[in-house]
Amino acid sequence: MPRGRGAAGARRARAAVWVAAVSVAGMRFVHTSDWHLGRTLHGVGMLEHQAAYLDHLVELVRAEGADAVLVAGDVYDRAIPPVEAVELLADALARLSETAAVVLTPGNHDSAVRLGFGAALMRPGVHLRARPEQVGTPVLLGGGAAGGTVAVYPLPYLEPDTVRDVLGDGEPTARSHEAVMAAAMTRVRADLAGRPGTRSVVMAHAFVLGGAASDSERDIRVGGVDSVPAGVFAGVDYVALGHLHGAQRLSGEPDQVLQYCGSPLAYSFSERHQRKVTAVVELGASGPASVELVPAPVPRRLAELVGPLDALLPQGVGGEHGEDWVRLVVTDDRRPADLYPRARAAFPHVLSVEHRPATTAAPPLVAVTPSRDPVELLVEFVEHVTGAAPDEAELAVLTAAYEQAREVAS
Protein backbone atom coordinates (compact mmCIF):
# COMPACT_ATOMS: atom_id res chain seq x y z
CA MET A 1 0.00 0.00 0.00
CA PRO A 2 1.11 3.63 -0.33
CA ARG A 3 3.00 5.24 2.47
CA GLY A 4 0.97 6.09 5.53
CA ARG A 5 -1.16 9.23 5.50
CA GLY A 6 1.07 10.65 8.22
CA ALA A 7 4.16 10.55 5.99
CA ALA A 8 2.35 11.95 2.95
CA GLY A 9 0.68 14.57 5.13
CA ALA A 10 4.03 15.64 6.52
CA ARG A 11 5.33 16.07 2.98
CA ARG A 12 2.32 18.22 2.09
CA ALA A 13 2.77 20.25 5.27
CA ARG A 14 6.30 21.12 4.13
CA ALA A 15 5.03 22.04 0.65
CA ALA A 16 4.86 25.79 1.39
CA VAL A 17 8.62 25.75 1.97
CA TRP A 18 9.50 23.31 -0.82
CA VAL A 19 7.33 24.66 -3.61
CA ALA A 20 9.16 27.98 -3.62
CA ALA A 21 12.51 26.20 -3.78
CA VAL A 22 11.42 23.84 -6.55
CA SER A 23 9.78 26.59 -8.57
CA VAL A 24 12.98 28.60 -8.64
CA ALA A 25 15.52 25.80 -8.65
CA GLY A 26 14.37 22.77 -10.55
CA MET A 27 12.08 19.82 -10.32
CA ARG A 28 10.69 17.04 -8.19
CA PHE A 29 10.13 13.84 -10.13
CA VAL A 30 9.36 10.18 -9.57
CA HIS A 31 11.73 7.63 -11.12
CA THR A 32 10.45 4.11 -11.75
CA SER A 33 11.24 1.28 -14.16
CA ASP A 34 10.92 -2.41 -14.96
CA TRP A 35 7.20 -2.78 -14.47
CA HIS A 36 7.18 -5.89 -16.71
CA LEU A 37 3.42 -5.69 -17.17
CA GLY A 38 2.06 -9.12 -18.05
CA ARG A 39 4.81 -11.10 -16.32
CA THR A 40 4.20 -14.26 -14.31
CA LEU A 41 6.10 -15.68 -11.34
CA HIS A 42 6.46 -19.46 -11.66
CA GLY A 43 3.22 -19.50 -13.64
CA VAL A 44 1.30 -17.21 -11.26
CA GLY A 45 -0.14 -14.11 -12.93
CA MET A 46 1.12 -10.82 -11.49
CA LEU A 47 -1.25 -8.38 -13.22
CA GLU A 48 -3.38 -7.83 -10.12
CA HIS A 49 -0.31 -6.95 -8.07
CA GLN A 50 1.10 -4.78 -10.86
CA ALA A 51 -2.20 -2.88 -10.90
CA ALA A 52 -1.90 -2.37 -7.13
CA TYR A 53 1.58 -0.92 -7.62
CA LEU A 54 0.33 1.49 -10.29
CA ASP A 55 -2.46 2.60 -7.93
CA HIS A 56 0.24 3.26 -5.34
CA LEU A 57 2.33 5.13 -7.91
CA VAL A 58 -0.55 7.42 -8.90
CA GLU A 59 -1.25 8.23 -5.27
CA LEU A 60 2.44 8.82 -4.56
CA VAL A 61 2.81 11.21 -7.50
CA ARG A 62 -0.21 13.19 -6.35
CA ALA A 63 0.88 13.28 -2.70
CA GLU A 64 4.39 14.41 -3.60
CA GLY A 65 3.21 17.05 -6.05
CA ALA A 66 5.68 15.60 -8.55
CA ASP A 67 6.36 17.54 -11.75
CA ALA A 68 7.15 14.41 -13.74
CA VAL A 69 7.21 10.61 -13.78
CA LEU A 70 10.15 8.94 -15.53
CA VAL A 71 9.70 5.29 -16.57
CA ALA A 72 13.09 3.91 -17.62
CA GLY A 73 12.20 0.89 -19.72
CA ASP A 74 10.73 -2.61 -19.57
CA VAL A 75 7.20 -1.27 -19.34
CA TYR A 76 5.94 -4.60 -20.70
CA ASP A 77 7.45 -8.02 -20.09
CA ARG A 78 7.49 -9.08 -23.73
CA ALA A 79 7.34 -7.61 -27.18
CA ILE A 80 3.69 -8.63 -27.72
CA PRO A 81 2.03 -8.02 -24.34
CA PRO A 82 -1.38 -9.42 -23.36
CA VAL A 83 -4.38 -7.16 -23.91
CA GLU A 84 -4.88 -6.77 -20.17
CA ALA A 85 -1.36 -5.37 -19.80
CA VAL A 86 -1.98 -2.82 -22.57
CA GLU A 87 -5.22 -1.74 -20.92
CA LEU A 88 -3.47 -1.41 -17.56
CA LEU A 89 -0.78 0.81 -19.05
CA ALA A 90 -3.36 3.00 -20.82
CA ASP A 91 -5.23 3.53 -17.57
CA ALA A 92 -2.04 4.30 -15.63
CA LEU A 93 -0.86 6.86 -18.19
CA ALA A 94 -4.23 8.58 -18.20
CA ARG A 95 -4.24 8.95 -14.42
CA LEU A 96 -0.58 9.91 -14.05
CA SER A 97 -0.77 12.56 -16.77
CA GLU A 98 -3.62 14.32 -14.95
CA THR A 99 -1.11 15.74 -12.47
CA ALA A 100 2.39 15.27 -13.92
CA ALA A 101 4.32 14.98 -17.15
CA VAL A 102 5.12 11.34 -17.99
CA VAL A 103 8.22 10.26 -19.93
CA LEU A 104 8.58 6.62 -21.02
CA THR A 105 11.24 4.70 -22.88
CA PRO A 106 11.29 1.05 -24.01
CA GLY A 107 13.63 -1.48 -22.42
CA ASN A 108 15.08 -4.70 -23.79
CA HIS A 109 11.85 -6.59 -23.01
CA ASP A 110 9.65 -4.11 -24.89
CA SER A 111 9.14 -3.82 -28.60
CA ALA A 112 10.23 -0.25 -29.27
CA VAL A 113 8.06 -0.13 -32.40
CA ARG A 114 4.92 -1.41 -30.66
CA LEU A 115 5.39 0.62 -27.49
CA GLY A 116 6.23 3.72 -29.50
CA PHE A 117 3.37 3.37 -31.98
CA GLY A 118 1.17 6.46 -31.83
CA ALA A 119 3.65 8.40 -29.67
CA ALA A 120 2.76 11.57 -31.60
CA LEU A 121 -0.90 11.02 -30.76
CA MET A 122 -0.39 10.74 -27.01
CA ARG A 123 -2.26 13.18 -24.81
CA PRO A 124 -0.34 16.33 -23.83
CA GLY A 125 2.07 15.58 -21.04
CA VAL A 126 2.83 11.99 -22.12
CA HIS A 127 6.20 11.75 -23.87
CA LEU A 128 7.02 8.32 -25.31
CA ARG A 129 10.51 8.21 -26.82
CA ALA A 130 11.20 4.93 -28.61
CA ARG A 131 13.20 5.91 -31.73
CA PRO A 132 17.01 6.07 -31.68
CA GLU A 133 16.82 8.99 -34.14
CA GLN A 134 15.36 11.07 -31.30
CA VAL A 135 18.39 10.55 -29.06
CA GLY A 136 19.80 13.92 -28.00
CA THR A 137 16.46 15.73 -28.26
CA PRO A 138 15.28 16.48 -24.72
CA VAL A 139 11.89 16.68 -23.14
CA LEU A 140 11.98 20.14 -21.55
CA LEU A 141 10.15 20.27 -18.26
CA GLY A 142 9.43 23.57 -16.57
CA GLY A 143 10.45 23.90 -12.97
CA GLY A 144 7.64 26.25 -12.01
CA ALA A 145 6.53 29.87 -12.10
CA ALA A 146 10.09 31.22 -12.10
CA GLY A 147 10.77 29.53 -15.40
CA GLY A 148 13.46 27.06 -14.31
CA THR A 149 13.89 24.26 -16.87
CA VAL A 150 15.16 20.69 -16.61
CA ALA A 151 16.22 18.88 -19.80
CA VAL A 152 15.28 15.19 -19.70
CA TYR A 153 17.03 13.04 -22.32
CA PRO A 154 15.16 9.74 -22.76
CA LEU A 155 17.33 6.99 -24.26
CA PRO A 156 15.41 3.95 -25.49
CA TYR A 157 17.15 0.61 -25.00
CA LEU A 158 20.04 0.71 -27.45
CA GLU A 159 20.58 -2.70 -29.02
CA PRO A 160 23.98 -2.36 -30.72
CA ASP A 161 23.11 -4.38 -33.81
CA THR A 162 20.08 -2.22 -34.60
CA VAL A 163 21.27 1.30 -33.67
CA ARG A 164 24.99 1.41 -34.46
CA ASP A 165 24.30 2.74 -37.96
CA VAL A 166 21.86 5.37 -36.68
CA LEU A 167 24.11 6.67 -33.90
CA GLY A 168 27.42 6.48 -35.73
CA ASP A 169 28.96 9.71 -36.99
CA GLY A 170 29.02 8.83 -40.67
CA GLU A 171 29.94 5.20 -40.04
CA PRO A 172 28.68 2.48 -37.68
CA THR A 173 29.85 2.52 -34.08
CA ALA A 174 31.66 -0.46 -32.63
CA ARG A 175 29.40 -3.43 -31.90
CA SER A 176 29.05 -2.98 -28.14
CA HIS A 177 26.74 -1.45 -25.58
CA GLU A 178 29.49 0.91 -24.46
CA ALA A 179 30.01 2.22 -28.00
CA VAL A 180 26.35 2.94 -28.77
CA MET A 181 25.75 4.47 -25.33
CA ALA A 182 28.84 6.68 -25.74
CA ALA A 183 27.54 7.83 -29.13
CA ALA A 184 24.15 8.60 -27.60
CA MET A 185 25.73 10.59 -24.77
CA THR A 186 27.83 12.56 -27.28
CA ARG A 187 24.54 13.75 -28.77
CA VAL A 188 23.15 14.54 -25.32
CA ARG A 189 26.19 16.63 -24.32
CA ALA A 190 26.16 18.46 -27.66
CA ASP A 191 22.57 19.53 -27.11
CA LEU A 192 23.16 20.37 -23.46
CA ALA A 193 26.09 22.62 -24.40
CA GLY A 194 23.59 24.97 -26.04
CA ARG A 195 21.54 25.22 -22.84
CA PRO A 196 23.85 26.86 -20.29
CA GLY A 197 22.67 26.60 -16.70
CA THR A 198 20.08 23.92 -17.48
CA ARG A 199 19.92 20.94 -15.09
CA SER A 200 19.91 17.62 -16.88
CA VAL A 201 18.52 14.11 -16.52
CA VAL A 202 19.29 11.07 -18.69
CA MET A 203 17.00 8.04 -18.75
CA ALA A 204 18.84 4.85 -19.76
CA HIS A 205 18.07 1.14 -19.78
CA ALA A 206 21.42 -0.61 -19.46
CA PHE A 207 23.72 -2.73 -17.31
CA VAL A 208 26.10 -0.14 -15.85
CA LEU A 209 29.39 -1.47 -14.55
CA GLY A 210 29.28 -1.90 -10.78
CA GLY A 211 25.57 -2.78 -10.60
CA ALA A 212 24.41 -5.98 -8.85
CA ALA A 213 22.23 -8.20 -11.04
CA SER A 214 19.62 -10.84 -10.13
CA ASP A 215 18.21 -13.88 -11.96
CA SER A 216 15.34 -11.89 -13.48
CA GLU A 217 17.11 -9.63 -15.96
CA ARG A 218 17.33 -10.93 -19.51
CA ASP A 219 20.88 -11.38 -20.78
CA ILE A 220 21.83 -8.43 -23.02
CA ARG A 221 25.40 -9.44 -23.86
CA VAL A 222 26.74 -8.61 -27.29
CA GLY A 223 30.09 -10.11 -28.19
CA GLY A 224 30.36 -11.40 -24.60
CA VAL A 225 30.07 -7.90 -23.11
CA ASP A 226 26.93 -6.43 -21.56
CA SER A 227 28.15 -3.59 -19.32
CA VAL A 228 28.55 0.15 -19.78
CA PRO A 229 31.09 2.11 -17.66
CA ALA A 230 29.56 4.77 -15.43
CA GLY A 231 31.91 7.34 -16.94
CA VAL A 232 29.95 7.22 -20.20
CA PHE A 233 27.27 9.34 -18.47
CA ALA A 234 29.63 12.21 -17.59
CA GLY A 235 28.20 15.68 -17.87
CA VAL A 236 24.64 15.19 -16.63
CA ASP A 237 23.18 15.69 -13.17
CA TYR A 238 20.95 12.64 -12.66
CA VAL A 239 20.92 9.31 -14.50
CA ALA A 240 17.60 7.48 -14.12
CA LEU A 241 18.56 3.87 -14.78
CA GLY A 242 16.47 0.84 -15.60
CA HIS A 243 17.22 -2.87 -16.23
CA LEU A 244 18.61 -4.12 -12.89
CA HIS A 245 15.83 -5.12 -10.50
CA GLY A 246 17.51 -4.13 -7.24
CA ALA A 247 17.49 -0.48 -6.19
CA GLN A 248 21.09 0.76 -5.98
CA ARG A 249 23.18 3.87 -6.45
CA LEU A 250 26.39 3.75 -8.49
CA SER A 251 29.47 5.95 -8.30
CA GLY A 252 29.70 8.74 -10.87
CA GLU A 253 31.17 12.20 -11.12
CA PRO A 254 31.12 14.55 -8.12
CA ASP A 255 27.59 15.94 -7.64
CA GLN A 256 26.24 13.35 -10.11
CA VAL A 257 23.71 10.69 -9.09
CA LEU A 258 23.38 7.39 -11.01
CA GLN A 259 20.38 5.56 -9.58
CA TYR A 260 18.66 2.27 -10.31
CA CYS A 261 15.17 2.35 -8.80
CA GLY A 262 14.73 -1.38 -9.44
CA SER A 263 11.55 -3.26 -10.27
CA PRO A 264 8.48 -2.55 -8.13
CA LEU A 265 7.81 -6.27 -7.59
CA ALA A 266 10.06 -9.29 -7.11
CA TYR A 267 10.14 -11.39 -10.26
CA SER A 268 12.39 -14.24 -9.05
CA PHE A 269 13.44 -15.79 -5.76
CA SER A 270 16.86 -14.18 -6.22
CA GLU A 271 15.07 -10.88 -5.46
CA ARG A 272 13.49 -12.07 -2.21
CA HIS A 273 15.83 -9.97 -0.03
CA GLN A 274 15.56 -6.82 -2.14
CA ARG A 275 13.65 -3.82 -0.82
CA LYS A 276 11.29 -2.77 -3.60
CA VAL A 277 10.95 1.01 -3.91
CA THR A 278 10.10 4.01 -6.05
CA ALA A 279 12.59 6.89 -6.21
CA VAL A 280 11.36 10.41 -5.42
CA VAL A 281 14.00 12.86 -6.65
CA GLU A 282 14.60 16.55 -5.90
CA LEU A 283 16.82 18.31 -8.43
CA GLY A 284 17.66 21.83 -7.32
CA ALA A 285 19.53 24.71 -8.94
CA SER A 286 22.92 23.24 -7.99
CA GLY A 287 24.50 20.34 -6.20
CA PRO A 288 23.58 16.67 -6.35
CA ALA A 289 20.00 15.50 -6.60
CA SER A 290 18.47 14.20 -3.39
CA VAL A 291 16.75 10.81 -3.61
CA GLU A 292 14.15 9.32 -1.28
CA LEU A 293 13.38 5.62 -1.81
CA VAL A 294 9.72 5.07 -0.99
CA PRO A 295 8.73 1.44 -0.22
CA ALA A 296 6.47 -0.19 -2.81
CA PRO A 297 3.51 -2.40 -1.85
CA VAL A 298 4.44 -6.03 -1.13
CA PRO A 299 1.67 -8.40 -2.31
CA ARG A 300 3.32 -11.45 -0.74
CA ARG A 301 6.75 -12.05 0.65
CA LEU A 302 9.04 -14.54 -1.09
CA ALA A 303 10.73 -17.19 1.04
CA GLU A 304 13.07 -20.09 0.34
CA LEU A 305 12.93 -22.83 2.98
CA VAL A 306 15.55 -25.57 3.09
CA GLY A 307 15.51 -28.66 5.30
CA PRO A 308 13.77 -31.97 6.03
CA LEU A 309 10.09 -31.87 5.10
CA ASP A 310 8.85 -32.53 8.65
CA ALA A 311 10.85 -29.53 9.88
CA LEU A 312 9.48 -27.27 7.14
CA LEU A 313 5.76 -28.08 7.31
CA PRO A 314 5.11 -26.32 10.69
CA GLN A 315 6.24 -23.04 9.07
CA GLY A 316 3.25 -23.23 6.72
CA VAL A 317 -0.42 -22.52 7.51
CA GLY A 318 -0.55 -20.85 10.91
CA GLY A 319 3.22 -20.38 10.87
CA GLU A 320 5.64 -17.72 9.72
CA HIS A 321 5.40 -18.46 5.99
CA GLY A 322 1.81 -19.66 5.57
CA GLU A 323 0.86 -16.70 3.33
CA ASP A 324 4.17 -16.34 1.49
CA TRP A 325 5.18 -17.37 -1.99
CA VAL A 326 7.51 -20.22 -1.11
CA ARG A 327 10.25 -22.29 -2.71
CA LEU A 328 10.80 -25.51 -0.76
CA VAL A 329 14.08 -27.38 -0.97
CA VAL A 330 13.51 -30.70 0.81
CA THR A 331 16.71 -32.37 2.02
CA ASP A 332 15.45 -35.75 3.30
CA ASP A 333 17.75 -38.60 2.25
CA ARG A 334 14.77 -40.35 0.63
CA ARG A 335 12.04 -38.57 -1.27
CA PRO A 336 9.14 -38.16 1.21
CA ALA A 337 5.88 -39.86 0.32
CA ASP A 338 3.18 -37.52 -1.07
CA LEU A 339 5.70 -34.67 -1.20
CA TYR A 340 3.67 -32.31 -3.38
CA PRO A 341 0.26 -32.79 -1.69
CA ARG A 342 1.79 -32.29 1.76
CA ALA A 343 3.71 -29.22 0.62
CA ARG A 344 0.62 -27.71 -1.01
CA ALA A 345 -1.53 -28.34 2.08
CA ALA A 346 0.97 -26.58 4.36
CA PHE A 347 1.91 -23.79 1.93
CA PRO A 348 -1.11 -22.73 -0.20
CA HIS A 349 1.09 -20.38 -2.24
CA VAL A 350 4.05 -22.69 -2.80
CA LEU A 351 5.61 -22.04 -6.20
CA SER A 352 8.43 -24.58 -6.33
CA VAL A 353 9.22 -27.87 -4.59
CA GLU A 354 12.59 -29.54 -5.04
CA HIS A 355 13.94 -32.70 -3.47
CA ARG A 356 17.66 -32.24 -2.91
CA PRO A 357 19.13 -34.87 -0.57
CA ALA A 358 21.60 -33.41 1.90
CA THR A 359 24.46 -35.62 0.69
CA THR A 360 27.77 -33.94 0.06
CA ALA A 361 29.27 -36.56 -2.23
CA ALA A 362 28.17 -36.41 -5.86
CA PRO A 363 26.50 -39.65 -7.05
CA PRO A 364 28.70 -41.75 -9.31
CA LEU A 365 28.08 -41.60 -13.04
CA VAL A 366 25.86 -44.38 -14.35
CA ALA A 367 27.81 -46.22 -17.05
CA VAL A 368 25.54 -47.88 -19.64
CA THR A 369 27.16 -50.73 -21.61
CA PRO A 370 25.70 -53.83 -23.33
CA SER A 371 27.19 -56.06 -20.64
CA ARG A 372 25.48 -54.27 -17.71
CA ASP A 373 22.49 -55.86 -15.98
CA PRO A 374 19.47 -53.63 -16.84
CA VAL A 375 17.98 -54.00 -13.36
CA GLU A 376 21.30 -52.97 -11.85
CA LEU A 377 21.24 -49.87 -14.05
CA LEU A 378 17.72 -49.06 -12.85
CA VAL A 379 18.88 -49.37 -9.25
CA GLU A 380 21.77 -46.98 -9.88
CA PHE A 381 19.43 -44.53 -11.58
CA VAL A 382 17.02 -44.52 -8.63
CA GLU A 383 19.92 -43.98 -6.24
CA HIS A 384 21.20 -41.13 -8.44
CA VAL A 385 17.81 -39.38 -8.44
CA THR A 386 16.69 -39.98 -4.84
CA GLY A 387 19.99 -40.25 -3.00
CA ALA A 388 19.15 -43.71 -1.66
CA ALA A 389 19.04 -47.23 -3.05
CA PRO A 390 15.56 -48.74 -3.60
CA ASP A 391 14.20 -50.91 -0.80
CA GLU A 392 13.02 -54.50 -1.36
CA ALA A 393 9.51 -53.52 -2.45
CA GLU A 394 10.81 -50.92 -4.88
CA LEU A 395 13.38 -53.38 -6.24
CA ALA A 396 10.60 -55.91 -6.87
CA VAL A 397 8.63 -53.29 -8.84
CA LEU A 398 11.69 -52.37 -10.92
CA THR A 399 12.43 -56.02 -11.67
CA ALA A 400 8.84 -56.77 -12.65
CA ALA A 401 8.71 -53.69 -14.88
CA TYR A 402 11.90 -54.72 -16.68
CA GLU A 403 10.73 -58.31 -17.19
CA GLN A 404 7.38 -57.11 -18.55
CA ALA A 405 9.10 -54.69 -20.93
CA ARG A 406 11.38 -57.45 -22.19
CA GLU A 407 8.43 -59.74 -22.85
CA VAL A 408 6.68 -57.02 -24.86
CA ALA A 409 9.86 -56.31 -26.84
CA SER A 410 10.35 -59.95 -27.70
Reported as type and span, the H/E element at residue 96 is: helix 83-96
Reported as type and span, the H/E element at residue 24 is: helix 15-25
- pLDDT above 90 coverage of the chain, percent: 56
Strands 277-283 and 27-32: antiparallel
What is the tens place of the pLDDT at every residue in 245-268? 999 999 888 999 999 999 999 999
Looking from the CA of 117 toward its CB, the CA atoms found within 13 Å total: 8
Band (51; pLDDT cuts 50, 70, 90):
very high
Res 362: pLDDT: 54
Res 202: pLDDT: 97
Reference 241, options 258, 265, 263; nearest CA is 258
Examine the pLDDT at 147 and tell me if it is beyond 90: no
Res 218: pLDDT: 63
Amino acid in position 271: E
Q: What is the mean pLDDT of the chain?
A: 84
Range with the largest mean pLDDT of 165-174, 290-299, 352-361: 290-299
Res 26: pLDDT: 63
The region of weakest confidence among 74-78, 343-347, 362-366, 385-389 is 362-366
The region of weakest confidence among 6-20, 52-66, 148-162 is 6-20
Strands 126-128 and 290-295: unpaired
Amino acid in position 220: I
The region of weakest confidence among 122-126, 294-298, 342-346 is 122-126
Alpha carbons 15 and 30: distance in angstroms, whole number: 16
The region of weakest confidence among 27-36, 168-177, 303-312 is 168-177
What is the tens place of the pLDDT at every residue in 350-389? 999 999 887 655 555 556 666 678 888 888 787 776 767 8
Contact in structure between 44 and 81 (CB atoms under 8 Å): no
Looking from the CA of 238 toward its CB, the CA atoms found within 13 Å total: 34
